Amino acid sequence: MAIRVDIDNWRWAGVPFYLRTGKRLPTKCSEVVVYFKTPELNLFKESWQDLPQNKLTIRLQPDEGVDIQVLNKVPGLDHKHNLQITKLDLSYSETFNQTHLADAYERLLLETMRGIQALFVRRDEVEEAWKWVDSITEAWAMDNDAPKPYQAGTWGPVASVAMITRDGRSWNEFE
């Protein structure tokens, strides 16, 4: 399933959020990817044409971590404005020398046994989340537009790619 979400408030007005989820995808992964807006004023017009946007990736699983990919001017005193991609990567397992980090269920069970509720949501949060999900399923029912089936082992239905492509964007490729 894939959906574009627009948040109706002053802070997020005009910022599209694209959510994609599914079962039996090619790999199990959860991540949040923020693509930074391309600046209006471009000092590097000659060398910027086909380079990717700056992005921040928060990896929730597997290999928890954070990385940021930015375009940097290649150091030097020449007048050429050559840009290259620079990637800063924080992998929790490498940083903390952990060969095994507990997965989400392991942590959840351990926190439950310890009586720590930080990983749990409150009842009102769950109710509000279901209101949002219910509104989506109601919209599907009204439009007679159910979620599209897809082949196991793929990244979802072709319609999910078509949806994001219409907006001139693409899904982040899981590495």
Q: How big is the CA angle at 143 (ends 139 and 146), to the nearest 5 degrees?
A: 80
The total of structural domains in the chain comes to 1
3-state secondary structure of 125: helix
pLDDT at 67: 93
Is residue 55 one of the residues assigned to a domain? Answer: yes
Is residue 172 one of the residues assigned to a domain? Answer: no
- Structure pTM? 0.76
Is residue 174 one of the residues assigned to a domain? Answer: no
Parent domain of 100: 2-166
Tell me whether residue 134 is exposed, middle or buried, using C-beta atoms within 10 angstroms of its C-beta: 0 to 12, 13 to 18, 19 or more: exposed
CATH code of the domain covering residue 31: 3.30.360.10
Is residue 175 one of the residues assigned to a domain? Answer: no
Give the whole-angstrom CA distance, residue 95 versus residue 97. 6
The C-alpha R_g of the chain, in whole angstroms, comes to 20
The tens-digit pLDDT sequence of the chain (175 residues) is 888 999 899 998 989 999 998 889 898 888 999 988 877 766 666 655 667 788 999 998 888 899 999 988 888 777 677 788 899 999 888 888 877 777 778 888 888 899 888 888 899 999 999 999 999 889 888 888 788 889 999 998 999 999 999 998 888 876 5
Q: Which two tokens stand for residue 25?
A: 């995808």
pLDDT at 50: 66
Is residue 171 one of the residues assigned to a domain? Answer: no
Q: Which segments within the chain are labelled E, that is strand?
A: 2-6, 16-20, 30-35, 55-61, 65-73, 83-91
